[in-house]
Structure 1
Amino acid sequence: MSSTAIPSPAATIRCHSAGRLRGFLRNRILLAGWQPRALPAAGSDAVAAQQLAHLVGPAVLEPMNVALDHADREASHVGGCARDAYTLLYACAAFAVLFAACGVAASDNHLVLNLLVLAELVMLVVLLLTFRSAHRTNWHGRWMALRFHVEFLRCLPITAATHPDSLHARQAREDGSAAPGLPLSDAPHLAALRNHHGKAADASVAAQDDALRAGRARLYLQLRAHAALEPATYAARALTYGRVLAGQQLRYHCIRAQQEQAIVHRVHALSMAAFGLTVVAVLVHFCWHSALLTIICTGVPAFAASLHGFLAQEESERLAASFSAMAVRLQGWLDRPDPAGLAAMQERLGELAELLMGEMQDWHRLFGDKGMYHLG
Structure 2
Amino acid sequence: MSDESSFRPRLVLRFGITGHRPPRLVEDRHDTIKEQCAEIFRLAQQSLEELQPRHPDVFSSEPAQAKLVSSLAEGADVLAAEAALESGLHLSACLPFPPEVYAKDFGEEEWRRTAALIEKADSILALTDYSRGDEAGYEIAGQIVLGQSDILVAVWDGEAARGRGGTTQIIAEAVARHQPVIHVDATGGSEPELLWSGLHAAIPDRPSVDGVERADARKALPALIEALCAPPASNGQAFVRDMIDPQDKRRERVVAWPMMLGLTGARAWSKLNFTPGDAGESVRQSRDLALPFAQNGHFGTMLNGPLLKRFGRVDAHANYYALRFRSSFVSNFAMAGLAVLLALSGLLFPEAKKLLIAAELLVILLIIANTRGANRINFHARWLERRHLAERLRQLMLTATLGRLSLRDVEDGTRDPGWTSWYARASARELGLVNATFDREYLTKARDTMVALIADQAGYHRNNARAMHHANHRLHKLGDWMFSGTILACIAYLVLSLTIGTKVGIGRFGMTEIVTFLTALFPALAAALYGIRMQGDFAATSERSSVIAHRLERLKVAIEMDPLRYDRLVERSRRLSEIMLADVQQWHLHYETRPLSLPG
- In 1, the alpha carbon distance for the partners of 2:250 and 2:345 equals 32
What do the CA deviations read for 1:117-136 (whole angstroms, capped 9, x no partner)? 01110111111111222222
Instruction: Work out whether residues 48 and 244 of structure 1, in 8 Å CA contact, stay in contact via their aligned partners in 2.
Output: no
- In 1, the alpha carbon distance for the partners of 2:330 and 2:525 equals 12
What amino acid sits opposite 2:465 in the alignment?
A
What amino acid sits opposite 1:99 in the alignment?
L
- In 2, the alpha carbon distance for the partners of 1:350 and 1:362 equals 18
The equivalent residue for 2:14 is none
Q: 1:154 aligns with which of 394, 407, 422?
A: 394
Offset, 1:87: 1.3
Q: Percent identity?
A: 22
What do the CA deviations read for 1:78-137 (whole angstroms, capped 9, x no partner)? 222211221121112111111111111122x1xx11111011101111111112222222
Query: What is the SS of the residue equivalent to 2:241?
Result: coil
What do the CA deviations read for 1:143-178 (whole angstroms, capped 9, x no partner)? 1111111121111122224575xxx81347xxx65x
Aligned residues: 331
- In 2, the alpha carbon distance for the partners of 1:82 and 1:48 equals 25
Offset, 1:321: 1.1
- In 2, the alpha carbon distance for the partners of 1:34 and 1:131 equals 28
Q: Which runs of 5+ in 2 are unaligned?
A: 9-239, 272-282, 295-299, 497-501, 503-510
Q: 2:322 aligns with which of 79, 87, 92?
A: 79
What amino acid sits opposite 1:8 in the alignment?
D
- In 2, the alpha carbon distance for the partners of 1:334 and 1:35 equals 32
Instruction: Work out whether residues 461 and 546 of structure 2, in 8 Å CA contact, stay in contact via their aligned partners in 1.
Output: yes
What amino acid sits opposite 1:25 in the alignment?
M
- In 2, the alpha carbon distance for the partners of 1:264 and 1:356 equals 23
Offset, 1:269: 1.4
Between structure 1 and structure 2, the one with the greater Rg is: 2
- In 2, the alpha carbon distance for the partners of 1:47 and 1:230 equals 28
Offset, 1:333: 0.6
Q: 2:360 aligns with which of 115, 120, 125?
A: 120
- In 2, the alpha carbon distance for the partners of 1:88 and 1:356 equals 30
Q: Are residues 1:305 and 2:548 paired?
A: no
Greater Cα offset, 215-224 or 310-319? 215-224
Q: Are residues 1:349 and 2:556 paired?
A: no
The equivalent residue for 1:26 is 261
What amino acid sits opposite 1:116 in the alignment?
L
- In 2, the alpha carbon distance for the partners of 1:118 and 1:35 equals 37
What do the CA deviations read for 1:304-349 (whole angstroms, capped 9, x no partner)? 1101100101111111111111111111111122432322221222
Q: Compared with structure 1, are the counterparts of its residues 353 and 33 closer, same or farther at alpha carbon in structure 2 (3 Å cutoff)?
A: closer
Instruction: Work out whether residues 334 and 528 of structure 2, in 8 Å CA contact, stay in contact via their aligned partners in 1.
Output: yes
Instruction: Work out whether residues 30 and 263 of structure 1, in 8 Å CA contact, stay in contact via their aligned partners in 2.
Output: yes
- In 1, the alpha carbon distance for the partners of 2:582 and 2:363 equals 41
* Aligned counterparts, 1:1-376, within 5 A: 1-4=4-7, 6-8=240-242, 19-31=254-266, 49-50=287-288, 52-55=290-293, 57-107=300-350, 109=351, 112-161=352-401, 164=404, 169-171=406-408, 209-210=418-419, 212-226=420-434, 229-231=436-438, 235-286=443-494, 287=496, 288=502, 289-336=511-558, 337-376=561-600
Q: Which runs of 5+ in 1 are unaligned?
A: 37-44, 187-205
Structure number with the higher strand fraction is 2
More RCO (CA 8 Å, sep 6+): 1
Q: Compared with structure 1, are the counterparts of its residues 95 and 4 closer, same or farther at alpha carbon in structure 2 (3 Å cutoff)?
A: same
What do the CA deviations read for 1:248-272 (whole angstroms, capped 9, x no partner)? 0111011011111111221221122
Taking only aligned residues, the RMSD between alpha carbons, in angstroms, comes to: 3.2
- In 2, the alpha carbon distance for the partners of 1:247 and 1:334 equals 7
Instruction: Work out whether residues 289 and 397 of structure 2, in 8 Å CA contact, stay in contact via their aligned partners in 1.
Output: no
What amino acid sits opposite 2:572 in the alignment?
R
Structure number with the higher helix fraction is 1
What amino acid sits opposite 2:423 in the alignment?
G
Offset, 1:30: 4.5
What amino acid sits opposite 1:274 in the alignment?
M
What amino acid sits opposite 2:287 in the alignment?
A
Offset, 1:51: 5.0
- In 2, the alpha carbon distance for the partners of 1:274 and 1:156 equals 49
- In 2, the alpha carbon distance for the partners of 1:18 and 1:33 equals 18
The equivalent residue for 2:16 is none
What amino acid sits opposite 2:425 in the alignment?
A
- In 1, the alpha carbon distance for the partners of 2:285 and 2:442 equals 18
- In 1, the alpha carbon distance for the partners of 2:574 and 2:524 equals 49
